[in-house]
Amino acid sequence: MRSSGLSRQNIYVLISSLVLLIMVLLFSFLVLIPKGKEYRIKRSEMIKVKKEAYRYEKFNNDTLSLLKKLQGANRYTITALSTPFSEDRFLKQHKKYFKTLNLSKRVVSEKDGVFLTYDVNTSSKISSPKSIYDFLDAINKSDWIIGVNFPIKFTREGDMIYSTFSMKVYETDKKDLNSSK
């Protein structure tokens, strides 16, 4: 005869369920809820860091695109600054504008940051002033950055005109560029 309506198997299931429920509640209150608060704090910090990283990435991309644009627009100038000045090559390229063209020895006159500046004094013999203007146009398109210092002195001797002027040739100092990287 049965005296109670609960069987032994049902009691085991009930006790097991109660123990499992207590373990789930303890796990929830002791582990999940505190870790959940920590997770929310870390998540909000991560969102702030992501926003800041996005802002820096956008700044980097904008700066890189500006750099590429400027490098493209000024590639000839950049190349000209890194090309070492050669007196022989200069004379070969520009002798056609003059009857004679002489360069005095180049002297490093100034050092401005990573740029070397050379003073080049020239004297030439021309048949008309037009050739000096053609020469000035040609050095604007040459392989170097050259600044002609004015005034250009002209002296007439018979049918020839002697001109004297000085130029500054600019180029980058490779040692300073490598040490600044």
Most confident among 2-11, 41-50, 124-133, 159-168 (mean pLDDT): 41-50
Q: Which domain holds residue 90?
A: 83-180
The whole-angstrom separation of Cα 45 and Cα 25 is 29
State residue 84's pLDDT score. Answer: 79
Tokens of 178: 């490598």
User: Which of 89, 118, 93, 101 shows the shortest CA–CA distance to 164?
Assistant: 101
Does the pLDDT of residue 150 top 70, yes or no?
yes
Residues 173 and 89 in one domain: yes
Q: In this structure, what CATH number is given to the domain that contains residue 113?
A: 3.30.2000.30
Enclosing H/E stretch for 150: strand 145-157
Number of folded domains that form the chain: 2
With vertex at residue 177, the alpha carbon angle to CA 142 and CA 74, rounded to the nearest 5 degrees, is 40
List pLDDT tens digits, range 23-80.
999 988 888 888 888 888 999 999 999 999 999 999 999 999 999 999 888 888 777 7
Is 78 contained in some domain?
A: no
* Domain end among 73, 103, 124: 73
User: Which of 147, 175, 152 shows the shortest CA–CA distance to 163?
Assistant: 152
Residues 58 and 88 in one domain: no
Does the pLDDT of residue 155 top 70, yes or no?
yes
List pLDDT tens digits, range 158-180.
777 777 777 777 777 655 444 44
For residue 4, the cross-strand partners are none
List pLDDT tens digits, range 86-109.
778 877 887 777 777 777 666 665
Contact present, 154 and 129 (Cβ < 8 Å): yes
For residue 100, the cross-strand partners are 125
